[in-house]
Amino acid sequence: MEPVIINAVQAAIDKFCGKEVYIHLETTNGAYAAHHDQSFFSSGAHIRNAKVQYDFGKITGDGPYRVGLKIPFGWVYAEGITHFEVDEKGRLLMAGHDFSGKLAVALQISPTPFE
């Protein structure tokens, strides 16, 4: 993975717009603690192979970045994205690492289900 290049990530997000895709989204304890200095607070979320079709997607911020995907009845949203890659399978893989390099958030978009 490489540090976010906002135009490259936006182009990859746009490539999937209007198509059925599979989403992987997860957060770890570090996602909340890193941004709120509350290391005693434990949180996490995980969803894998959620099939969605988004009408609009956007990466914003000055880094770490926020990524939002507008789906018919709401949003898929990840905050704290620092790195990305488009892999050999054509998947957009985005991750956010905390100050110690530990994974805090991941948002991945794929045209096929994740293994």
pLDDT in tens, the chain (115 residues): 999 999 999 999 999 999 999 999 998 865 444 455 555 556 678 899 999 999 999 999 998 999 999 999 999 999 999 999 999 999 999 999 888 888 889 999 999 999 9
Name every residue whose Cβ is closer than 8 Å to that of residue 42 and which is 6 or more positions away in sequence.
29
**Cα–Cα distance, 98 to 80 (Å, whole number):** 8
Strand pairing report for 83-86 and 2-3? antiparallel
pLDDT reported for residue 51: 96
**The pLDDT of residue 102:** 87
pLDDT of residue 37: 52
Question: What pLDDT, on the 0 to 100 scale, is given for residue 41?
Answer: 57
Indicate the domain borders of the chain: 2-110
- Among 35, 39, 36, 28, smallest CA distance to 103 is for 28
CATH superfamily of 2-110: Hypothetical protein YojF (2.70.180.10)
